[in-house]
Amino acid sequence: MPDTVSVSFAKHGAAPKGVLLALADDSLALGKETLKVLKPIKSTFERALDADRFRGAMGAALDLIAPSGLNVPRVLVLGVGKAGELKSQDFVRLGGLVAGRIPASAREATLIVDLPSGAVGAKAAAEIALGVRLRAYSFDRYKTKKKDNEGEASALSLTLLVADPAAAERAWAVEGAIADGVILARDLVNEPPNVLDPPEFARRAEALAEVGVAVEVLDDAALSEIGMRALLGVGQGSIKESRVVVMRWNGGAEGEAPVAFIGKGVTFDTGGISIKPAAGMEDMKGDMGGAACVTGLMHALAARKAKVNAVGVIGLVENMPDGAAQRPGDIVTSLSGQTIEIINTDAEGRLVLADVLWYAKERFQPRFMVDLATLTGAILVALGTVHAGLFANDDELAQRIAAAGEATGETVWRMPLGAAYDKLIDSKFADMKNTGGRNGGSITAAQFLQRFVDKTAWAHLDVAGTAMASPSSDINKSWGSGWGVRLLNQLVADHYEG
Ligand code: BES
Ligand code: MN
Ligand code: ZN
């Protein structure tokens, strides 16, 4: 399908335009609205069913080109499996499957949003549209050769035929905001590190003012004044300045404590003086995936006018080796007053988060803090690219995040914390050191963060395996996944609104 898709809704019965898409379940039944439209080609459809051994499984498709009797270039019937069992995330996935079947040459397409089990609600229709937008996304800003001579359309206009277009539009105002948030996060992760340095990331965050987010940017001088020396130490080997961005959305009751989201935003991680090997280092442009997620989430919450007070705080630095760079052996005093001995300058994300977590806690006294960080390679060893690692000092918050993960398909796996791990980061010379050795590397990283959250309910998501370079899915073909925006939006919607 073309990568720019505009979505609109019309009422069942409207004349289909372009490629016609319909849904069938695994009983091979069609919905009543679908039958009305496909009536002129009923016998063609039935013969094709037999010929193609189409069984209506989720993702299967029956493709009829230029069927006589209907004035459309193509009819695609998509299977949904067991129609009665479809949940929100299945409709999103279905949207991805729909988008994946639309030919690249199509300029117009129409989907009859209807199942044999009965009318599909407005919310489900909007969830399908969300899946379409997410699947269609591709980051090709830096490709100068247009894919022209293959007859590809540059944009697709997709109409969803529904029972109540006005209700679907209202649901789309919410799901479309989520789509925009995910896409913003993906764009940020995909951008090259020469373009997206800390000041540029901060400028992109400032654009959230357009949806009503209050954005504050703290520069090197301000951060030094405040005393964020753990964060500044990471950035001191780079010619780029560091930034901390505070994003506030006040959609909730006045004076109610906010929920807080904190993001690691290392716009490029060379490892610093403890430099990384060359192979694959280019992937470290995605080491700001946590900050990208927080920015995309704040966009989504504001654009859908969530009834919540939320703050997003991101720490933006570039980790480079040069004459001014931090050394192994250095001791820095963090904003909290606690001192940190630097053992490995490549364990930089926790240094950034230490100051940002402490800052968010002190300034906002939030109901909870959730941080996201591409923090450790060890979480990839433990969980692969399937789950993000979840660490928490609060069982209720952990359980709510896990449930939101199941609901959105952005799943997490809880990992342990405890005193026996915590003591591994005690230092000979300072209050703590910034690495605890190879074993349990994701856990000792989380223990380090926990030293900067006090009694605040807190959860840490290690997204090194999910924010970038994870295998493509039905709703994502992009390197930067935008992972976490849908998860945390769901968490807020389920428990912290109204
Ligand atoms: N940004 C990396 C972690 C990472 C690795 C993210 C692979 C995504 C993919 C992080 O800053 C890092 O370098 N961590 C070190 C910590 C170690 C030095 C204690 C690691 O995981 O090796
Ligand atoms: Mn590193
Ligand atoms: Zn890093």
Task: Give the pLDDT mean for 316-340.
Answer: 99
> Which tokens belong to 381?
């060893």
Number of Cβ atoms within 10 Å of the Cβ of 26: 15
Residue of 11, 51, 53, 8 whose CA lies nearest to 28: 53
Q: In the chain, what are the domains?
A: 4-163 (3.40.220.10), 177-495 (3.40.630.10)
- Residue 287 Cβ inside 6 Å of ligand 1? The answer reads yes
Ligand 1, closest atom to CA 344? 18
Neighbours of ion ligand 2 (CB under 5 A): 269, 346, 348
For residue 415, report the distance from its CA to the centre of ligand 1, in Å: 17
| Residue 3 confidence (pLDDT) | 85
Is the CB–ligand 1 distance for residue 180 below 6 Å?
A: no
Which atom belonging to ligand 1 lies closest to the Cα atom of 276?
Answer: 13
Mean pLDDT score, 126-153: 89
Residue 406 clears pLDDT 90, i.e. is over it: yes
Give the C-alpha separation, 55 to 152, whole Å: 30
Pocket test for ligand 1, best of 275, 346, 383 (most atoms within 8 A of CB): 346
Q: Say yes or no: CB of residue 379 within 6 Å of ligand 1.
A: no
Sign of the Cα pseudo-torsion (459, 465, 466, 469, in order): positive
pLDDT recorded at residue 148:
58
Ranges of beta strands (E only) in 87-220 are 108-112, 114-115, 118-119, 155-162, 214-218
pLDDT at 150: 65
Query: Residue 149 — very low, low, confident or very high, per pLDDT cuts 50/70/90?
Result: low
pLDDT score, position 153: 84
How far, in Å, from the CA of 392 to the mean position of ligand 1?
A: 20
Question: Distance from the CA of 221 to the center of ligand 1, in angstroms?
Answer: 28
Residue 82 burial (10 A CB sphere; 0-12, 13-18, 19+) = middle
Q: Is 345 in the pocket of ligand 1 (CB under 6 A)?
A: no
For the cut 80, the answer to whether the pLDDT of residue 83 exceeds it is: yes
Integer Cα distance of 454 and 208 in angstroms: 30
Helix, strand, coil proportions of the chain in percent (round to 5)?
40, 20, 40
